[in-house]
Amino acid sequence: MSIKISKAGFHRDLQYSVQWSKIDHDVKALLVQQLPSGVYMDEYQLETLRRDTGLEVLLDSKVDVEAPEYLSPGFTALVFLSGRREAAVPVHGRYHRPSASSKRVKVDLDPARLLLRSDQCEALSACFCLHRVVVEAPCTFSSHSICSWTEILDLEDSGGVSLELAVGDSSMLLTVCAGTVLTAVLSCVYLLRNIWKHGSF
């Protein structure tokens, strides 16, 4: 299994690829991805992708897309690879606290866990020679039922990935505040002047 990050800036794609040896059984795959507070997934965007491309991703909690990193919890995404062995899942960077010492911050993503299940092969150890453990997870994207999945351990090429995000320069705080206040005052003066000049009282 491999995971890569594509695109640049605050809007990226997590690209997953899973390969296993050919067998005679239909095998379903599920990726369990823990995500830190520094990134988020947009459930409305995921729903649009589900309708348009068939991508199936479940989030374990509601995600506030407007909250900054320091006010956000981490969450878990379940990526169902029904009928496919690859998926590109959009992920977005959150705004971090401004810093006077660094212009970029690194966000580390842990490796995804790989779960497999087969209706024709209840004990996947009979289908694969695998280091494994049995865990519980939703059977499908659209089902509330819980099934037993086999988590595959000691995966090849399953290291985590990271992305760098730009952060604000806190040394410019006073300059930015002063400029904002001055702009607001001048705009108010301009509006009041035009209202007084052209308005009817």
What one-letter code names the amino acid at 179? G
Tokens linked to 192: 């009041």
Q: What is the 3-state secondary structure (H, E, C) of 63-108?
A: CCCCCCHHHCCCEEEEEECCCCCEEEEEEEECCCCCECCCCEEEEE
* pTM assigned to the model: 0.78
Per-position pLDDT tens, the chain of length 201:
888 999 999 999 999 988 876 766 678 899 999 999 999 999 999 999 999 999 999 999 999 999 999 999 999 999 998 767 899 999 999 999 887 777 889 999 999 999 998 876 655 555 555 567 889 999 889 887 999 998 988 776 667 899 999 887 766 667 778 888 989 999 999 888 888 877 665
pLDDT at residue 201 in the model: 55
Alpha helices in the chain (DSSP H): 43-53, 173-198
User: Tokens 């300059």 label which residue?
Assistant: 175
pLDDT at residue 126 in the model: 52
pLDDT at residue 1 in the model: 83
CB 36 within 8 A of CB 92: no
**Three-state DSSP class for 125?**
helix
Give the whole-angstrom CA distance, residue 61 versus residue 50. Answer: 18
CB 97 within 8 A of CB 173: no
Give the whole-angstrom CA distance, residue 118 versus residue 191. Answer: 69
